[in-house]
Amino acid sequence: MMQDTIIKNAMKRADGTKDFCIEKNYRNNEALRASFNRLAEKTFGLNFENWYRNGFWKDNYIPYSVVIDGEVVSNVSVNACNMNYKGKIVKLVQLGTIMTDDDYRGKGYAKALMEEVLKDYDGKVDGIYLFANDSVLEFYPKFGFREAKEYQFTKDVTISGECTAQNVPLRDKIDFDRTVEILDTKKQNAQLYMVDNPGLYMFYLSQFMTENLFYIEECNSYAIAEIEEDTLILHTILGNGAVDEVIRAFGSQVKKVILCFTPNDASGYEKSELHEEDTTFFVQGKFFEDNRGDEYMMQAITHA
């Protein structure tokens, strides 16, 4: 996708707001990328530079940014998050990295960005979703979004065997590239999972979760998982391994399992409505209306 620049507000407003433009998909522009990273660091404590340097920032992560005097002051990023839902591919977009510099709030920049994004994607995808914090819950319904529910599955387990799950350390580009190949070639054992966007998985795996990939030899599958005392937090299964088989591979120390995805077979699991602190799930579009009563969870590891 080529860099796409749209000029807005060619003249200063009566309130003194400066001229601005909206820049899109500028990842290879070093000055704008650096400015974007400064704002992300200031807002969320995140920096995308290593993700870019490792080659994971592709065209399926598109920042829409208000730029004033060469600086990114407001942003809404578009993530192409196509999903395999019950065996069918659904074309979805997730909005994320939504931020405005403190000095530029209240000037309508976030509104201008949302309008631009929706203009570009209206009628071209099956749905759009985002995760909002509590301070902006009244903002998104103005653009056709509604609050939606997610459901999480958990269960208590008793495992008699030893741990056979083998940790796969992620240390360098060779490890990262091998993981991308796994993500690209292995189906996931889940009712709903993201496809064609390994870069978003790698945002986590190459930075914050470098110790969380495991190989399960018994079923030739991989698991992305965390272990907190006696609780296994299972993010996804890459391969055909059954969920219970993968869980057993983590051994007798595991007493409780929390799934951060929706299993194909939920029998034996306790289902509960997911409530995350300072997080509300917003959706719009045909996919979400057609499946309004379904009980699923967007994979936690794919949150943008």
Q: Return the H-helix or E-strand segment holding 100.
A: strand 92-100
Cα angle 296, 247, 189 (rounded to 5 degrees) comes to 45
Q: How far apart are CA 125 and CA 4, in angstroms?
A: 20
For β-strands 92-100 and 127-132, DSSP reports them as parallel
* pLDDT confidence tier of residue 51, bands split at 50, 70 and 90: very high
Fold classification of 153-273 (topology level): Aminopeptidase (3.40.630)
Q: How far apart are CA 148 and CA 13, in angstroms?
A: 37
Q: How far apart are CA 147 and CA 30, in angstroms?
A: 37
Q: How far apart are CA 159 and CA 299, in angstroms?
A: 25
Q: Give the pLDDT score at 7.
A: 44
Residues facing residue 24 across a β-bridge: 4, 64
Q: Give the pLDDT score at 100.
A: 97
* pLDDT confidence tier of residue 135, bands split at 50, 70 and 90: confident
Q: Give the pLDDT score at 95.
A: 98
Least confident of 9-18, 82-91, 242-251: 9-18
pLDDT for residue 17 is more than 80: no
Range 41-50 contact pairs with CB under 8 angstroms and sequence separation of 24 or more? 42/101, 43/99, 43/101, 44/97, 44/99, 46/97, 50/206, 50/207
* pLDDT confidence tier of residue 16, bands split at 50, 70 and 90: low
Per-residue three-class SS string for 32-70: HHHHHHHHHHHHHCCCCHHHHHCCCCCCCEEEEEEEECC
Q: Report the share of the chain in percent with pLDDT over 90.
A: 90
For β-strands 256-259 and 231-238, DSSP reports them as parallel
What average pLDDT score do residues 266-289 get? 95
Q: How far apart are CA 238 and CA 194, in angstroms?
A: 12
pLDDT tens digits, 213-233: 999 999 999 999 999 999 999
What average pLDDT score do residues 151-174 get? 96
* pLDDT confidence tier of residue 181, bands split at 50, 70 and 90: very high
pLDDT tens digits, 232-258: 999 999 999 999 999 999 999 999 999
Q: Give the pLDDT score at 20.
A: 86
Are the folds of 4-149+275-299 and 153-273 the same?
yes
| Residue ranges covered by each domain of the chain | 4-149+275-299, 153-273
CATH code of domain 4-149+275-299: 3.40.630.30
pTM here is 0.91
